Structures are given as structure tokens and as C-alpha cells.
Amino acid sequence: MEKPKSLKPLAISFALGGAWDTIAGFQYLFKIGTGRIIDNPPMDPFYAIFLGSFFLCFAYLQILSSFNIRHYAFNVGCLIIGRLFYVIVLYYFILFVNGFPTTFWFTGIIDGVLTLLYVIFVWKGGLKVADLFLPK
């Protein structure tokens, strides 16, 4: 029987994604919103807190999943889709929507790099597409 390939690089990059989402969560909770960094377009503080709470949930999910990444590979698939969608939507708005603030351009780069790392380490770790999108 063939020994399973190591998923340690995937687990580490997934935990780093969780650390990044923790930073984003605290940024949304305490710095972003009306009267803070972004005033145009206006953002109600409720939405900043709402998004911050989601970032912290994603961070928790990623960090704890990284301890048994083979079992929680489904979470990796979800984050690949989510981060890719975010990067596409962010850069679409930055490039094609007049007046959209470019404040978060660097987050698109970080999320793009994390997505690329997930895909590379999934492939090198020998996971199948079904492992990422069908929970066991």
C-alpha cells in the first residue's frame, strides 16, 4: 500500500490563512467603517462588525482544520472557492467601478497567493477534487 503524501505544507498555509483572516477580522471590527478608514462609499459600522465576525469564524475554522487537514480537506475546497471569488470581485470593482476605493488592493494579492498555495499543496499532497468538495 502506498504511503500517503505529506499535507504538512497545506496545513501550514491553511493555518497562515487563518492568521491572515484573524488580522482582517480585527481590522473590520476596530478600524474599518464609517468614521474610520472608509467613508466613501459609506459603510455602516454594523456591516464592518458583521464582516469582522465572519473573518474570525473563518480564521477559527482554518486554524483548527490545519491540525487534521486530511480529514478537513473539504474546508480547503470551500476556502479556495471563497478566496478566488473575493479576488475576482475585488479587482473587478477596483478596475471597472468608478469611485471604488483601491484601499484593499494588497488583500487581493495576499488572498490570491494563499489560494495558489492551497491549490499547489493540494496537488502535491495527492488529494483528489472529491476530497475538496465532498465531505467524508
pLDDT on residue 39:
57
Q: Are 81 and 118 in contact (CB under 8 A)?
A: no
Distance (Å, whole) CA 12 – CA 116: 14
- Residue 99 C-alpha cell reads as 469611485
Q: Are 114 and 83 in contact (CB under 8 A)?
A: yes
pLDDT on residue 100:
86
* 3 state SS for 115-133: HHHHHHHHHHCCCCHHHHH
pTM for this prediction: 0.87
Domain boundaries, the chain: 8-133
pLDDT on residue 34:
54
pLDDT on residue 35:
60
The per-residue pLDDT string of the chain (136 residues; one tens digit each, 9 = 90 and over) reads 667 789 999 999 999 999 999 999 998 888 876 566 555 555 567 788 888 999 999 999 999 999 999 999 999 999 999 999 999 999 999 999 998 888 889 999 999 999 999 999 999 999 999 999 987 7
